[in-house]
Amino acid sequence: MRIFHIEPGHVRESADLEQLPAADLKGSGYVWIACSRPEFEVEQARVQAALQHLCGEQLVDLHISDLINKQLPSHYDYTSQYDLLVFRRLVAGSTGTLPLNAPKAEGTPPRLSGPPILRRIDTSPVGFAVFDNVLLSVHPDDCTVRDAYADKLLQTTPAAEPRAAGARQPTSPADLMLRIVNSMVDGYLALRRELTQQLDHWQNELLSPRTRFTNWTSLLEARMALHQLDDVCEEQRSSIQDWIEAIKTWPETTGPADARERELLEVRSRDVLEHIERVVHHVRRLEQSVETAVQMHFSVQGSRTNDIMRTLTVLTAIFLPLNLMAGIFGMNFDFIPLLHQQGGFWWILGAMGLTAAALALVFWRKRYLARTNR
């Protein structure tokens, strides 16, 4: 568990919840309590006591269950004292997690088919409880976004180098929550190139005339993973849209500074929503690319089959007259023209050759024997 006391121009990390007196939060400062899901499950009573001390309010039991649940989809909820946002992250993990990989029975070995990048996209939920002066975030065990943003936040100390104007210190718990969510969304945007390259490789394999594609199980799993990833992104977008609508219902601001802060919060929320929409657009484009590649694969296979059948039909048509001549002169009759002549065999053989050549020329002129360029 990491605890930060954030004030304008200064960030201090504390070692214990009890070291944060509520009097320090009456001004413009606020507290960020970041803990892993197992830590929150074990020490939820201690966290509840700290929230009661700092905010005068505790989490509702149902919201505690939401923060502990590992399978909960992205959604937004609220009370009169705080807002709750559960957001599924999209980052590269060592192994895939639900919902991209369904739970398997104990002792069942993991499947190794499908594009590796799809199996490495981690969609574990991250929960945020946003109070007026406290942000409680519950992360998975291996959440690198929390530690990365915490290290970035500590750079706001006076000893640190001046930071860029666009990376200024968060002004409120809601602003901090949106920055962390934006970092999680951008984590998927960083995977776009690798994911696109792997699926492009599959498309080339599907359309290559020199290979025979047989890995249909992996392709089906990849399509299912993309569909589920699309569902995750839709849930993310819906939760952020609910959050934006909730901001509009907040009480009116009392001064220009508060109005400016509210406006910046709405702008950042719309920016997060725009990033999520980019992810949705990219995932759907990948889905369409896979579907198109499969359809083109079967179209190419049908075209190849048609070419083979056309060639066999032409060859059959060429040899049919020759079989007719051979059948006629193979009849058991004594009186057949050219049968008892010395050059009859060569006359018939020449006629058969001319007939075959004439038919081949006709079919070639009609492009029945033309070579298809690939």
How far lies 23's CA from each of 4, 30, 172, in Å?
Answer: 15, 11, 17
Portions of the chain given CATH number 1.20.58.340: 307-365
Summarize pLDDT for 34-70 with one digit per residue, the tens: 998 998 988 888 888 888 888 888 899 999 999 998 8
Least confident of 157-171, 219-233, 253-267, 354-368: 157-171
Tokens describing residue 308 = 């083979």
Q: Let me know: does 100 contact 121? Beta carbons within 8 Å.
A: yes
User: What's the pLDDT band for 370 if we cut at 50, 70, 90?
Assistant: low
Which stretch, 147-161, 249-263, 330-344, 360-374, has highest mean pLDDT? Answer: 249-263
For 2-300, the fitting CATH number among 1.10.1740.10, 3.40.50.1820, 3.40.1190.20, 3.30.460.20 is: 3.30.460.20
Q: What CA–CA distance (Å, rounded) separates 266 from 273?
A: 11
Residue 272 has pLDDT above 80, yes or no: yes
User: What's the pLDDT band for 110 if we cut at 50, 70, 90?
Assistant: very low
Summarize pLDDT for 112-149 with one digit per residue, the tens: 344 566 666 778 889 999 998 889 999 888 777 788 88
Summarize pLDDT for 65-105 with one digit per residue, the tens: 999 988 888 899 998 889 999 998 876 665 444 444 444 43
Domain 307-365 CATH class label: mainly alpha
Better-scored residue on pLDDT, 73 or 29:
73
Task: DSSP for 257-322, please give it.
Answer: HHHHHHHHHHHHHHHHHHHHHHHHHHHHHHHHHHHHHHHHHHHHHHHHHHHHHHHHHHHHHHHHHH
Three-state secondary structure call for residue 110: coil
Per-residue burial over 216-235, b if 16 or more Cβ lie within 10 Å, else e, is eebbebbbebbebbbbbbeb
Summarize pLDDT for 292-341 with one digit per residue, the tens: 777 877 787 787 788 888 888 888 888 888 888 888 777 777 777 777 77
* DSSP 8-state class, residue 190: T
Residue at 281: amino acid letter: H
In this predicted structure, what is the pLDDT of residue 160? 45
Which stretch, 127-131, 153-157, 252-256, 291-295, has highest mean pLDDT? Answer: 127-131
